Amino acid sequence: MTERSQDEEKTSRGPQAGKAPQAPQAPQAPQATQAEKAGKAEKAEKAAQAVKGTKAAKAGKAAGRAVKEAKASAPAGGAGAAKTGPGRGEQTGRPAQARAAHGVSRRRLLGTAGAAGAAGLVAGGAAGAFAGETVRKDPAPLNGVGSASRPFHGAHQSGIADPAQTCGHMAAFDLAPGADRKAAAALLRRWSATAADLMAGRTPQGDGSGVALDAGPCSLTVTFGFGRTFFDRTGLAAKRPAALEPLPAFTADALDPKRSEGDLWVQIGADDALVAFHALRLLQQQAGSAARLRWQMNGFNRTPGATAQPMTARNLMGQVDGTNNPKPSDPRFAGHVYVPEDRGGADAWMAGGSYAVVRRIRMLLDSWDNLSLERQEKVIGRRKSDGAPLSGGTETTPVDLDKFREDGSLAIAGDAHIRVASPASNRGATMLRRAFSYHDGFLDDGAPDAGLLFVAWQADPLKGFVPVQRKLDRGDGLSRFLRHESSGLYAVPGGCAPGEYVGQRLLEG
């Protein structure tokens, strides 16, 4: 029955697809007038273009152009964006008018200039309706959570140096048997155009799913990477970076190959679950016949506003996690995280890119929670309450690995996680960790299937993740509470300019 309906309906999709989802929402508000006009003009323009299938590339270029104009004065992404771009809760630099003119905003455009000032009102206006009550007052402007956006175009892809969002999806795809370099290029072009639209809060052409309607961009990021096998399948083995050599085996590894590696990797993050799901679903659909989903995982972090302190996140062990991450303000940050721009040779296409090590690390929480607080803190080397190192001070006080307590013992134990993982113990090896927690229910024995979707970013995994993990594998007191259940290593190219797509330098270089 379902199959029949699929066939039945497919033919009627074309003429409708680009049309109705872009209809302005609830036309009663006078502020919407300008936006509606812009929306209609855009709709007419888009209706004149082809929507589906092989025309996607063209649509992608059009979207690219629109973004170029809209973003003319916007800062570039990556490290630059980390300093100058909008953080959570701040207004984006682009005026609402620019967005109205160049894309179909998912929501009625509302004056956002006064949003910060009127945020007291916003807090109430953004309140959810009671389950039984539809509250439809005069629409209030989005608060920072909804309106915040990250740049798609720039020197680096977003989703690396910017804050990890509330909701995350990781997905790997394998190219279909027949798919070649050309098919892969078309896929990356489609995906890039869609990611650019979604990250700006626009509804991509032909998307009638409606799942993210009414929502702002919600800090959505979509980040693309290439696995080791991608290069064989596309005849690009000569351009495969040496850094993609398989990771060594570690003793805490219990890897599931079905949930590891993959030709293509996509990382999605957003501060709203529907916005994140919408992006994932759309990218999966656009993979079409070119690629198939290999694995997919869901993760989460704290909701903006849940804590008054914009502090380092906690993981599901309750521990403040990420304190010693390299800081974008550090002049060495780019060197640690990004492949240099002046890179020559076979992998010159990776300039501005980064390497992502992605690991599903299950926490043995039943064992961990049975430790006393004192033992937990000793294993980590930090106080649980505030993340301060056991050598003293506050969370951000530099760790003193040589400090002794009055009883003559080391303040930071010999097998404490922060000692074994510290750059000082690893000849300066540094990576940027940007993780999500995950919880996929419980195993048959009642133990939580929960832990960390660990993502480490570095210019060279052989100088970042590998030496640190090797050391942790031997001497870390924490490792007996962890199981690495899946692993992936991906070359994440630099960001692209408007009109280009991610990976273009590789696929057309």
Are 154 and 77 spatial neighbours (Cβ–Cβ below 8 Å)? Answer: yes
| Residue 251 interacts with a copy of itself (CB under 8 A): yes or no | no
- Residues 139-158, interacting with a copy of itself (CB under 8 A): 139-146
Residue 54 Cβ vs a copy of itself, minimum distance, rounded to whole Å: 19
The half-sphere exposure of 201 on its side-chain side, counting CA atoms within 13 A, is 28
- Give the position of tokens 């025309």: 55
Q: In this chain, which of 36, 162, 197, 263 binds a copy of itself, going by CB under 8 A?
A: 162
For 344: left if phi > 0, alpha if psi spans -120 to 50, otherwise beta; the answer is beta
| Residue 395 interacts with a copy of itself (CB under 8 A): yes or no | yes
Catalytic-role residue among 207, 271, 321, 476: 321
Distance CA 370, CA 41 (A): 62
Are 221 and 280 spatial neighbours (Cβ–Cβ below 8 Å)? Answer: no
The half-sphere exposure of 295 on its side-chain side, counting CA atoms within 13 A, is 18
| Residue 23 interacts with a copy of itself (CB under 8 A): yes or no | yes
Relative orientation angle of helices 273-287 and 181-199, to the nearest 10 degrees: 160
Pick 104 or 244: Cβ nearer a copy of itself: 104
Neighbours of 176 (CB within 10 A): 17
Sequence-separated (6 or more) residues with CB below 8 Å from residue 408: none
221 DSSP assignment: E
Distance CA 170, CA 358 (A): 9
| Residue 130 interacts with a copy of itself (CB under 8 A): yes or no | yes
| Residue 407 interacts with a copy of itself (CB under 8 A): yes or no | no
- Residues 198-237, interacting with a copy of itself (CB under 8 A): 208-211, 213-216, 218
Residue 333 Cβ vs a copy of itself, minimum distance, rounded to whole Å: 6
Helix (H, G, I), strand (E, B) or coil at 488: strand
Residue 210 Cβ vs a copy of itself, minimum distance, rounded to whole Å: 3
Q: Which stretch binds a copy of itself (CB under 8 A): 66-74, 174-182, 225-233, 273-281?
A: 273-281
**Is residue 180 among the annotated active site residues?**
no
| Residue 297 interacts with a copy of itself (CB under 8 A): yes or no | yes
Q: In this chain, which of 288, 296, 423, 500 binds a copy of itself, going by CB under 8 A?
A: 296
Pick 80 or 499: Cβ nearer a copy of itself: 80
| Residue 480 interacts with a copy of itself (CB under 8 A): yes or no | yes
Are 141 and 118 spatial neighbours (Cβ–Cβ below 8 Å)? Answer: yes
| Residue 20 interacts with a copy of itself (CB under 8 A): yes or no | yes
| Residue 413 interacts with a copy of itself (CB under 8 A): yes or no | no
For 291, phi and psi rounded to 5 degrees? -155, 155
Pick 187 or 506: Cβ nearer a copy of itself: 187
For 432, phi and psi rounded to 5 degrees? -100, 115
For 330, phi and psi rounded to 5 degrees? -75, 130
Q: Which residues pair with 486 in a beta bridge?
A: 360
Residue 499 Cβ vs a copy of itself, minimum distance, rounded to whole Å: 28
Residue 290 Cβ vs a copy of itself, minimum distance, rounded to whole Å: 13
- Residues 331-360, interacting with a copy of itself (CB under 8 A): 333, 337
**What x-and-dash track marks residues 72-101 binding a copy of itself by CB under 8 A?**
----------x----xxxx-----------
Closest C-alpha among 222, 159, 167, 163 to residue 193:
222
- Residues 430-449, interacting with a copy of itself (CB under 8 A): 432-434, 437, 439-442, 446, 448
| Residue 308 interacts with a copy of itself (CB under 8 A): yes or no | yes
Active site residues: 321
